Chains A and B, each alone.
Chain A
Amino acid sequence: QRQLQESGPGLVKPSETLSLTCTVSGGSISSSSYYWGWIRQPPGKGLEWIGSVFYSGSTYYNPSLKSRVTISVDTSKNQFSLKLSSVTAADTAVYYCARSRAYCSGGSCPREWGQGTLVTVSS
């Protein structure tokens, strides 16, 4: 049974904001042992780290996406979320949520992954 599950719209219009949620099951998102992160993969291409969040709200972002990304945590729902603004076709990708051990700086060691969700940017 997967512990991480992504959800959100599969289609987003150009210039709008992409919003995804990752629901954590089988444990508390408020644990000080983990960071929670997002990674994406354009069709037929490699993996790109987007950023991560700690239960306290501390965040780390990929410098190339930082101006458009917000990652937040909702401990009451055991969820964390991704918002990516001003999207273009280049943001079309499978988006994965992942869990990293907290002793890896800024959530830099993803270990458990969700199944991923495809988001297409198109009008």
Chain B
Amino acid sequence: NFMLTQPHSVSESPGKTVTISCTGSSGSIASNYVQWYQQRPGSAPTTVIFEDNQRPSGVPDRFSGSIDSSSNSASLTISGLKTEDEADYYCQSYDSSNVVFGGGTKLTVL
């Protein structure tokens, strides 16, 4: 079964840059779109990146997405960290049989 693996947690200081990885277990992660979702405590997820590297309107350009085929992974990079970026982040993609989410990464901005 296709799986996406994320680090359990990351932390960084305000103003810095952080990158969250999402590694595919099989196949080529570049073959299907990857999405990234932000979920603050008690709230529904919201999309911060869709189709690998596209930002919905209203999402600041501090958020960016990329794909690295050599490591079969996707990455979410957040620059100029703000305390409001503290949240859980989930990557998501799919294979021929299922839609899959990563386990989520808790970002702490301290």
Contacts and interface: CB of A to CB of B under 8 A. Distances in A.
Contacts of A106: 94, 99
B33 A48 contact: no
Interface in B47-73: 47, 50-51, 56
A47 B90 contact: yes
Interface residues of B, number: 23
Nearest to A113: B44
Contacts of B37: 47
Given A46-B104, A105-B94, A110-B35, A62 B99 contact: yes
Interface in A79-123: 96, 104-116
A109 to B, nearest CB: 5
B101 A48 contact: yes
- Which size class do A's interface residues fall under? 20 to 34
B100 interface: yes
Nearest to B88: A46
Contact of A109 (B44, B50, B101, B102): B50
Which interface residue of B44, B46, B90, B98 has the most chain A CB atoms within 10 A?
B44
A108 B92 CA distance: 9
Contacts of B104: 46-47
B44 A49 contact: no
A110 B94 CA distance: 11
Interface of A: 46-49, 62-63, 96, 104-116
Interface of B: 32-33, 35, 37, 44-47, 50-51, 56, 90, 92-94, 97-104
